[in-house]
């Protein structure tokens, strides 16, 4: 009888301990979940995003802190808004946190399978990163393709000269988009895809395709919140993207075919180098990889670069003293005797104030305000909080750029702040990471940086600028439209004045 009593006691005690243990682990697990706003059933926190997700998330992070968790439909999302946590995500734990959540439109033509931007960080991804680092973006390669970009700068200046002679205004975003697109297409293929006068049918077609891609990729898609609807494509977005991607891929394929048929390597551009890599024995860069790589490079490299230039010009026109200071520096370093000065990319190191202007622009107006979404491959603990496996991770660089705990007078355009320190946007200083950091950092950074500085230097060295339609500096509208890149809602129209 005593034995039975002892046994019953032991069973009860074990159950009791087990209950405490289970409740205990549950409690400690939930206490590690990042803070979060209350999610509605089914839709979760989708409505909290609004039309300007970077701003809504910045505001939410003031209540819930620099790491918070949201349910976007069925997608668990972690939002990061401080340099310290960004470093944990993109540097310390980047091996586990470097996968991608893939938007449904990117599945068009299986782009996500071949694309360097969207594939998981596999061996194939490493090969593509290495090939682009060596054959497209290395300093030697960029030096050797500089001549193509300089020709495009001259054409931009010729266009500005025409406007100056006719005392007409120009849409600076549109003009720089053409210059950037043609700089890329000449660096890659030695050919233009666009022209400043919109004369050719081809240029109009390319513009439509690029704008279409930006629109589809930037518009919210219900499938991205509820992937089980994927087969239905209820908004028809993937079908439209199939069409745009198809046109570009066919065009790139024609160029590759033409190079393969040539007997000698004539152009010395990126396409020549990459076709050579593709033709090596046992090459792991196949023809689809090459075609989808070009698609990535154009989509990732055009609008980001030209919108940065438009934001920089807008800030300078709102701040005439800063504008005057950049022009003074340019004239001291480059001189103003000759008209339509050609600016070498090597001059950039001699222009500290211009470099500060570019950093300040990227701080306030990062073109990809939430970076490209990352995804966790496993559970990871970040500063005491649990980031669960398969969570989408958004790093709000826009919020970090305007955080008064990080920057003095964060909403003011003060390039001078960068003359006092060595902070740069190359992925080492986590308070300024418009290109990301860690293994997924933007590989196009060296080309983007050269292009932004050179276009700005060319425009500002040769001309003074005033706002069109008699507008004053206070009238420059700085509203943002959220999409695949963060755009000015109202284009900047300016009149060039001969310096």
Helix axes 352-364 and 320-334, enclosed angle (nearest 10) = 140
Identify whether the C-beta of residue 404 lies closer than 8 Å to the C-beta of residue 413. no
CB of 336 to ligand HEM, least distance (A): 28
Most distant CA atoms of the chain, gap in Å: 110
Which helix (H) or strand (E) covers residue 69, if one does?
A: strand 67-72
Kindly tell me the sign of the dihedral angle through the C-alpha atoms of 98, 99, 105, 108.
Answer: positive
CB of 196 to ligand HEM, least distance (A): 20
Q: Which of residues 353-382 bind ligand HEM (CB under 6 A)?
A: 367-368, 371-372
Measured from the CB atom, is 116 or 467 closer to ligand HEM? 116
CB of 111 to ligand HEM, least distance (A): 12
Measured from the CB atom, is 441 or 468 closer to ligand HEM? 441
- Site for ligand HEM contains 177 (CB under 6 A): no
CA distance 54 to 76: 17
Distance of CA 431 to the CA centre of its chain: 16
Measured from the CB atom, is 66 or 369 closer to ligand HEM? 369
CB of 224 to ligand HEM, least distance (A): 17
Q: What is the C-alpha R_g of the chain?
A: 26
CB of 119 to ligand HEM, least distance (A): 8
The tokens for 498 are 């001969």
Q: Which of residues 245-304 bind ligand HEM (CB under 6 A)?
A: 296-297, 300-301, 304
In this chain, which of 73, 415, 436, 496 binds ligand HEM, going by CB under 6 A? 436
Measured from the CB atom, is 427 or 496 closer to ligand HEM? 427
Site size toward ligand HEM (CB under 6 A) is 25
Q: For ligand HEM, which residue has the nearest CB?
A: 444
- Site for ligand HEM contains 86 (CB under 6 A): no
CB of 71 to ligand HEM, least distance (A): 22
In this chain, which of 58, 442, 454, 484 binds ligand HEM, going by CB under 6 A? 442
The tokens for 131 are 């090939």
Identify whether the C-beta of residue 419 lies closer than 8 Å to the C-beta of residue 353. yes
CB of 430 to ligand HEM, least distance (A): 12
Q: Considering only the stretches 167-175, 222-230, 333-341, 439-447, report the one whose residues sit in contact with ligand HEM under the rule CB under 6 A.
A: 439-447
The tokens for 359 are 């950093």
In this chain, which of 308, 361, 392, 462 binds ligand HEM, going by CB under 6 A? 308
- Site for ligand HEM contains 145 (CB under 6 A): no
- Site for ligand HEM contains 305 (CB under 6 A): yes
CB of 332 to ligand HEM, least distance (A): 26
The pairing of strands 67-72 and 75-80 is antiparallel
- Site for ligand HEM contains 440 (CB under 6 A): yes
CB of 400 to ligand HEM, least distance (A): 12
Residue 414 CB-half CA count within 13 A: 13
CA distance 81 to 397: 7
Identify whether the C-beta of residue 489 lies closer than 8 Å to the C-beta of residue 481. yes
Distance of CA 154 to the CA centre of its chain: 27
- Site for ligand HEM contains 448 (CB under 6 A): yes
- Site for ligand HEM contains 443 (CB under 6 A): yes
Q: Residue 183: CB partners within 8 Å, gap ≥ 6?
A: 148, 149, 152, 153, 451
CA distance 473 to 479: 15
Measured from the CB atom, is 334 or 395 closer to ligand HEM? 395
Q: Considering only the stretches 15-23, 45-53, 147-155, 437-445, report the one whose residues sit in contact with ligand HEM under the rule CB under 6 A.
A: 437-445
CB of 296 to ligand HEM, least distance (A): 5
Torsion of CA 425, 419, 356, 153, to 10 degrees: -110
Burial of 163 (0-12, 13-18, 19+ CB in 10 A): middle
CA distances from residue 24 to 19, 28, 45, 301 in whole angstroms, order as listed: 8, 6, 28, 50
- Site for ligand HEM contains 81 (CB under 6 A): no
CB of 298 to ligand HEM, least distance (A): 7
The pairing of strands 480-481 and 75-80 is unpaired
- Site for ligand HEM contains 427 (CB under 6 A): no
Q: Which of residues 181-210 bind ligand HEM (CB under 6 A)?
A: 184
Measured from the CB atom, is 145 or 462 closer to ligand HEM? 145
In this chain, which of 172, 386, 399, 447 binds ligand HEM, going by CB under 6 A? 447
The pairing of strands 75-80 and 392-395 is parallel
CB of 366 to ligand HEM, least distance (A): 6
Q: Which of residues 107-126 bind ligand HEM (CB under 6 A)?
A: 116-117
Residues recorded for the chain: 499
CA distance 114 to 210: 19
CA distance 441 to 117: 10
Residues that bind ligand HEM (CB under 6 A): 116-117, 129, 184, 296-297, 300-301, 304-305, 308, 367-368, 371-372, 434-436, 440-444, 447-448
């Amino acid at each position: 009888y005593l034995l039975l009593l002892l046994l019953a006691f032991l069973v009860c005690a074990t159950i009791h301990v087990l209950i405490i243990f289970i409740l205990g682990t549950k409690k400690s697990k939930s206490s590690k979940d990042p803070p979060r706003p209350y999610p509605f059933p089914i839709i979760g926190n989708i409505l909290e995003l609004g039309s300007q997700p970077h701003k809504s998330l910045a505001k939410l992070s003031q209540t819930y802190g620099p790491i918070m968790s949201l349910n976007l439909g069925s997608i668990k999302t972690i939002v990061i808004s401080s340099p310290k946590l960004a470093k944990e995500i993109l540097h310390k734990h980047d091996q586990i946190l470097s996968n991608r959540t893939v938007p449904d439109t990117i599945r068009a033509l299986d782009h996500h399978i071949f694309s360097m931007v969207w594939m998981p960080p596999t061996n194939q991804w490493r090969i593509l990163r290495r090939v682009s680092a060596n054959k497209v973006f290395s300093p030697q390669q960029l030096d050797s393709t500089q001549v193509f970009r300089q020709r495009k700068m001259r054409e931009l200046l010729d266009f500005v000269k025409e406007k100056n002679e006719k005392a007409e205004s120009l849409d600076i975003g549109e003009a720089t988009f053409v210059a950037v697109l043609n700089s890329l297409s000449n660096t890659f293929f030695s050919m233009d895809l666009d022209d400043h006068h919109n004369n050719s049918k081809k240029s109009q077609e390319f513009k439509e395709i690029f704008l279409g891609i930006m629109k589809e990729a930037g518009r919210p898609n219900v499938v991205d919140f509820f992937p089980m609807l994927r087969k239905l494509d209820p908004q028809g977005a993937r079908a439209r993207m199939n069409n745009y991607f198809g046109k570009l891929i066919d065009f790139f394929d024609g160029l590759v075919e033409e190079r393969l048929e040539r007997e000698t390597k004539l152009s010395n551009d990126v396409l020549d180098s990459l076709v050579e890599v593709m033709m090596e024995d046992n090459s792991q860069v196949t023809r689809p990889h090459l075609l989808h790589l070009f698609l990535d490079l154009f989509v990732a490299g055009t609008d980001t670069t030209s919108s940065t230039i438009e934001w920089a010009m807008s800030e300078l026109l709102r701040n005439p003293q800063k504008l005057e200071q950049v022009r003074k520096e340019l004239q001291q370093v480059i001189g103003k005797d000759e008209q339509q000065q050609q600016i070498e990319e090597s001059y950039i190191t001699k222009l500290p104030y211009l470099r500060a202007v570019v950093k300040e622009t990227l701080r306030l107006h990062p073109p990809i305000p939430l970076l490209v979404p990352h995804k966790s491959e496993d559970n990871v603990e970040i500063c005491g909080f649990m980031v669960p496996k398969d969570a989408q991770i958004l790093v709000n660089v826009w919020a970090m750029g305007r955080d008064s705990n990080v920057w003095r007078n964060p909403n003011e355009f003060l390039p001078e702040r960068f003359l006092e320190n060595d902070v740069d946007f190359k992925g080492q200083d986590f308070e300024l990471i418009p290109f990301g950091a860690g293994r997924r950092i933007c590989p196009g950074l060296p080309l983007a940086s050269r292009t932004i500085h050179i276009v700005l230097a060319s425009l500002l060295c040769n001309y003074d600028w005033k706002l069109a339609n008699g507008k004053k500096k206070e009238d420059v509208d700085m509203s943002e439209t959220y999409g695949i890149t963060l755009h000015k809602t109202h284009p900047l129209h300016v009149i060039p004045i001969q310096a």
